[in-house]
Amino acid sequence: MKKETICAYLPDFVRTGYGEKYSTILRYFFPEVISALLLYSALSLFDSILIAHLRSTSTYATLGLTNSLLHTITKLAEAFSVSSTVLAGRFNGAKLYQEVGKTARDTFWITLLLGLFFTIVLYSSSQAIYFWYDVPESIRIIGVPFLRLKAISVLFSFVYLGFFGFLRGIKNTAVPMYSFLLGAVVFIFFDYALVLGKFGFPALELQGSAIASIAQNVTMTFALLLYILFDKNNRKYVICLLQPLRSPSYIKELITLSLPVAIDKVVFAASYAWLYATICPMGKYWAATYTAVRDMEKLAILPAIAFAQVITFLVSNDYANGNWDAIRSNIYKALFLSAGMVVPLLLVLSLWPSYFIALFDKKDAFTGLAACVFPIVSIFVIFDLMQLILAGALRGAGDVKTVMFVRLFVFISYFWPASYLISLMALPDTLKFILLYGLFYLGTAFMSIIYINRLAGSGWQKLRNI
């Protein structure tokens, strides 16, 4: 009796009556974290370590700056992936299987056209982009041809992320994981061969990294295409990508869901790129420091990214049935599990930062700088963890506008102007770097508070007709 009384006052994540079991959530999580590891961190770390062997700080800084810009573009593709997950999840939960197939088809065509558009824009404006960043000439000379090659891979990344959204909506997280593994093998082989000139290939250095990305994205796109069209488990969805788009009302709903997600994801990713714009005038060593710190933090935050994907499709499936207790319980569990994984990772990286940073700095040019600032800025990563999970839950409920407006408000009214003012101040470089990074994470704390208040109410529970 006493135990039951105590449990009544505990949060849902330690109670077993609501939501998915921990084992079920972890079963969804492990394929997602492997996918996230390959998409957001592992391959990036492998690439960074290879580039570090070139012993050029300018080349390493160029890699980080360019990938940060492309990460912003990729977030737009992820927006359509999320909206596809939400729509496919609703239709799948209601057993409207042919509508799920139509969602896959519509997402394919929209992402294909958008990917082609951004490939052309990035390729043609590469010179102007590096002039805007106000980088040294050494970085600009290396960066322009690198960006033009990377722009080609953007087209395929849009398409395969659209396919991911469909598969997550039908609760299939294994196939995206396998496609990432296949793409990872292709990338690692060509990256190693072309950057350093192995197995008879020419040593193309940074350009080899871009060609490896193209090979990876092409392989993943066609592997997913074959699975979606020909696997027997997908026959009930009657997928035909060559059919015309469905009625304007469905397209409007897909875009209506995607646009707010696109705005909030792009604004969020653009803030990382903006940090490069404020840090690059401090010199190439601080730009390289920022790249190294970002690489380490991307590794540590991976569990939260994976749980954010899981909570999106769990909420989208429960949302159709109005299962509010299950939704809240799953959110608590995702927060609890992700914190239990991210915090120990940050602790290990903060205790021995020089050891890990030296992997990216073979010349010992900026290891001391990065080792000094990383333990301090990593303390605030927990705020990013919280906002990732909570934003994912709201997206799963279709409440994408709340996430969009909150991020727009925080970044436009607070982070961008505040960081710009800090960048103009005559401060010691180390203090300026910490303040710039700290302002970003303080912004994620504001977001988390607003999301918590939103989920505590009932406005997000207004069911839409499918």
CB atoms within 10 A of CB 323: 16
By mean pLDDT, which of 31-45, 174-188, 245-259, 367-381 is the weakest?
A: 245-259
The confidence score (pLDDT) of residue 5 equals 46
pTM attached to this predicted model = 0.74
Residue 465 has pLDDT above 80, yes or no: no
* 377 vs 279: CA distance, rounded Å: 15
Whole-number CA gyration radius for the chain: 22
* 32 vs 25: CA distance, rounded Å: 11
- Alpha carbon dihedral 43, 45, 49, 51, in 10-degree steps, equals 70
Residue 458: phi and psi, rounded to 5, are: -125, 5
pLDDT level of residue 16 (50, 70, 90 thresholds): low
Give Cβ neighbours of residue 80 (< 8 Å, ≥ 6 apart). Answer: 107, 110, 111, 114, 158, 161, 162, 165, 254, 258, 261, 262
Tens digit of pLDDT for each residue in 210-231? Answer: 999 999 999 999 999 898 888 8
Residue 47 has pLDDT above 50, yes or no: yes
Angle between helices 57-93 and 381-396 (to 10 degrees): 30
Which H helix or E strand runs over 320? none
Kindly give the residue spans of alpha helices, DSSP state H, lying in 125-136.
126-133
Number of alpha carbons in the 13 Å side-chain half-sphere of residue 344: 5
Structure tokens at 168: 């997550």
The confidence score (pLDDT) of residue 73 equals 85
Compute the average pLDDT of residues 257-284.
Answer: 82
Round the average pLDDT of the chain to a whole number and report it: 84
The confidence score (pLDDT) of residue 247 equals 61
More confident residue, 9 or 434: 434
More confident residue, 268 or 385: 385
Query: In Å, how far are 9, 317, 324, 331, 333 from 19, measured between CA atoms?
Result: 17, 11, 9, 9, 9
pLDDT level of residue 462 (50, 70, 90 thresholds): low
Dihedral sign for Cα atoms in the order 84, 311, 320, 262: negative
Residue 443: phi and psi, rounded to 5, are: -65, -40
Structure tokens at 80: 């359509």
Structure tokens at 223: 């592997």
Compute the average pLDDT of residues 250-261.
Answer: 71
Of 25, 101, 70, the closest CA to residue 266 belongs to: 70
Tens digit of pLDDT for each residue in 295-329? Answer: 888 889 989 988 998 888 888 877 767 777 888 88
The confidence score (pLDDT) of residue 397 equals 83
* 377 vs 380: CA distance, rounded Å: 6
Give Cβ neighbours of residue 117 (< 8 Å, ≥ 6 apart). Answer: none
pLDDT level of residue 1 (50, 70, 90 thresholds): very low
Question: Helix or strand or coil: residue 189?
Answer: helix
Residue 250 has pLDDT above 70, yes or no: no
Put residue 391 in one of left, alpha, beta given phi > 0 → left and psi -120 to 50 → alpha: alpha
Tens digit of pLDDT for each residue in 77-135? Answer: 887 787 778 778 777 777 777 777 787 888 888 888 889 999 999 999 988 888 888 77
Question: For a pLDDT cut of 70, what percent of the chain falls above it?
Answer: 92
Residue 4 has pLDDT above 70, yes or no: no
Put residue 238 in one of left, alpha, beta given phi > 0 → left and psi -120 to 50 → alpha: left
Of 184, 183, 313, 162, the closest CA to residue 228 belongs to: 162
* 59 vs 56: CA distance, rounded Å: 5
Chain-centroid distance of CA 233 in Å reads 28
Compute the average pLDDT of residues 245-262.
Answer: 70
Number of alpha carbons in the 13 Å side-chain half-sphere of residue 231: 12
Compute the average pLDDT of residues 424-437.
Answer: 92
* 144 vs 69: CA distance, rounded Å: 13
Number of H helices, E strands in the chain: 19, 0
Task: Return the amino acid letter for 341.
Answer: M
Can you tell me which residue has the tokens 């896959």? 104
